[in-house]
Structure 1
C-alpha cells in the first residue's frame, strides 16, 4: 500500500465527481461511478460539455500508467465513499470497518484447509467488506454480491474491476437470489427491526448457498439473540448446520451499538460432529499482547478439533 498512490487515485475521481456535482448537480457517488466508467471503459453514461470531457480525459491520462495495488484502490475508494455518504447525510456505518474484514479473513485462513475459490456477500453494498477480505487472502478468488441499491451495485462491480478481481454483482432483492456451493459467505447485517427481524431471514435463506462444511460470517449487533423469533431462528439453522462461534468485537470500534461476528457452519455428513462453541472476546487492535494471547487461544481451540478444517 502506497499512501501517495491512494491520494493520487482519489484526486483523479474526486475532481471528476466534484465537477459533476457542481456543474451538473450529479450526486457525488454517481460522479465517482462515472469516473470509474471512464477509467475502465473509456466512456461515461451522460453527455457533458466538451471542455469538461477534455478535462476528464486529461486527468485520466495522469494515472493510467501508475501501478496501483489492490489496497491502494480499495482504500482510496473508501475515502470517496465516506465523502459521498456525507453529501447525502447518510451514516458512515454503511461502510464496514476494515478491522472486521481483517478479523474475518484471519478466521477464513484458519478454518479452511485450502484457499476458498468463491466468496459471497448477500448484502454487498459498495463491497468494502468482501474486497477487504479478498485482499487479505491475496490469492485470486471469485467475488459474488447482491444488493437492491443499483448505484451501490455498480460501485461494487467497478471496484472489483478496478482491482482486477473477478466478480459478479447482482442488482436484486437478496431473497430472490439463489446459488449453490459457495465456499464462504460474509455479510454485515443492516439495521432492521420492522416486523420480522430481517437478519434471521437473510442468514436462514443464504446458508443454503454454502457448500458442505463451509462457513458463514455475519457481523451482528449484540442484541441479535434477544430479538423476537430467536428460538425459531436457532431451530431452523440447526436443521441446516450449526452455530459455530461468536466473536465479540471491541466496543470502542462502534459509536453506540456494539457488534460481534457470528460464525455459522453448513451441516456436514459425519455423525461425530463436535458441538463445543467458539466464544472469543477480541481485545483492541492496539493491545498487541492481548491480541497475541487471543489468537493463540483460537489456534489451540482449532487444533483441538478434528472436524474443523473445511
Structure 2
C-alpha cells in the first residue's frame, strides 16, 4: 500500500467535502459522504447549484479511482470520516481503530482457513470500516451484510463500499429488531456499549435486564447468535468490564448454554484515552453439530501494534494456538 496515494486521495476528499460543506451549509461528515458519491459517479449531483457543479466537475477530473488499491481507498476515506467525527458529539459517531480492524481480518482467516465461501454480518456496521478491512484481506467468495440505525453513518458506509467495489447488503434499522436474513458463517461487530432504551423490544431477549434498562452490548451478543449458523463464529469488540458488570452473571449463564468461548484478546491500552474505556476482542463459537470448546481458550494481552518485535512474538503464539485448534475441528 502506498501511503502517498492515501494522502493524495484524502486531500482530494477533504477539499471536495470542505467546498460542499461551505456551499451547501451542511456538516463536514455529510459533505464527505457527498464527495465520495461524486467521486464514485464521476459527476456532481443534479440538484447542486451551478457554481458548485462547476467546481465539482473540475475537481473530479483531477483524480482517477483506477490508480488506487482498495485499502488505499479505505484508509483515505477513514481519515476524512475521522476528521468529520472530531466535530461530532454523538457517542456512536466512532470508528473502529484501523489496526484492530486489520487484526480482526487476520483472525477471520485463521478461523476459516479452508472454507472458500463465507457469509459475514456486522449488526453495528457504522461506516463499514471493520467490514471493509476484513473483506479486503479475504481471497474468498463473500456474501456480506451490515446493519446501521444512524442514517449519516449508513450513507458513509454505502459510499465506502461503492468506492472499494465491495458488495455489501445494508439494512437501515434498529439492529435489535428482526432481520429478513438467513444465518451467516461469521458475525463481527464493534459493540455499542450502554443501555438500550426500548424496554418493550428488549423483553424479546433472554438477556433482558431483570429490572431497568438492558445493556445494548449484551443484547447485541444474543442477536448475533440468533443470526449465526450452528457452529459458526462471532467476533466482538467488547469492553474489558464485560464479565464484571452487574448483569454479567446472566450473560455468563447464557453464553455457557449457547456458545463456546474460543478466546479473549485484550487490546493494547495505548489505543484508548482512558483505561476504563479499554476493550478486548471476544471470539465465540455458536454451539451446534461438530462444535467443541477449545482445550484451552485463547487468552492473551496484545502488545502495542507499533512494536513489531512484540507483535511478531504474539502472532507466532497465536498461529501455534490456531494450528492446534483447527486440527481438532
Question: Which TM-score applies when normalising by structure 2?
Answer: 0.86
Deviation at 1:215, TM superposition (A): 1.1
- Structure 1 stretch displaced more, 18-27 or 1-10: 1-10
Equivalences for 1:39-78 in 2 at 5 Å? 39-41=39-41, 47-64=47-64, 66-78=66-78
1:230–1:116 CA distance, 2 compared to 1 (3 A): farther
* Matching of residue 282 in structure 1 with residue 284 in structure 2: no
Distance 1:79 1:306, change over 3 A: closer
Counterpart CA distance in 2 for 1:89 and 1:157 is: 22
2:161 paired with 1:141: no
Deviation at residue 89 of structure 1 after TM alignment: 4.2
Specify the SS of the correspondent of 2:136: helix
The farther-off stretch of 13-22 and 75-84 is 13-22
| Residues 91-150 of structure 1, C-alpha deviations (whole Å, 9 max, x = no match) | 698111111112212221112132452221110011111111112225553321101001
Greater Cα offset, 62-71 or 259-268: 62-71
61 and 248 in structure 1: CA distance in 2 versus 1, 3 angstrom threshold: same
Q: Deviations over 1:19-77 (max 9, x none)?
A: 12212211111111112222333565672221210110111122136421101111110
Q: Distance in 1 between matches of 2:185 and 2:271?
A: 28
Supply the RMSD in Å over aligned alpha carbons.
2.3
Unaligned segments of structure 2, at least 5 residues: 197-212
Q: Contact 2:85–2:93 (CA<8 Å) still a contact in 1?
A: no
Task: Determine whether 1:218 maps to 2:236.
Answer: yes
> What's the TM-score, normalizing by structure 1?
0.90
- Tell me the SS of whatever aligns to 1:213: strand
CA distance 1:170–1:93, shift in 2 (3 Å): closer
Q: Give the total of aligned pairs.
A: 309
Q: How does 1:203-214 map to 2 (within 5 A)?
A: 203-214=221-232
Equivalent residue, structure 1, for 2:81 = 81
Return the alpha-carbon distance in structure 2 between the equivalents of residues 157 and 308 of structure 1. Answer: 39
8 Å Cα contact 1:111/1:308 also seen in 2: no
Measured in 2, the distance between the counterparts of 1:2 and 1:302 equals 31
From 264, 267, 276, the equivalent of 2:284 is 264
Cα pair distance change 1:137/1:270, threshold 3 Å: closer
Residue 132 of structure 1 is matched in structure 2 by: 133
Q: Kindly provide the CA deviation profile for residues 148-204 of structure 1, in whole angstroms up to 9, marking residues without a partner as x.
A: 001111111111111011111111000124333312111112231463111110011
Q: SS of 1:263's equivalent?
A: strand
1:168 is matched with 169
Task: List alignment gaps of at least 5 residues for structure 1.
Answer: none
Residue 285 of structure 1: how far off its partner (Å): 2.2
Residue matched to 1:181: 183
CA distance in 1, matches of 2:36, 2:122: 22
SS in 1 for 2:47: coil
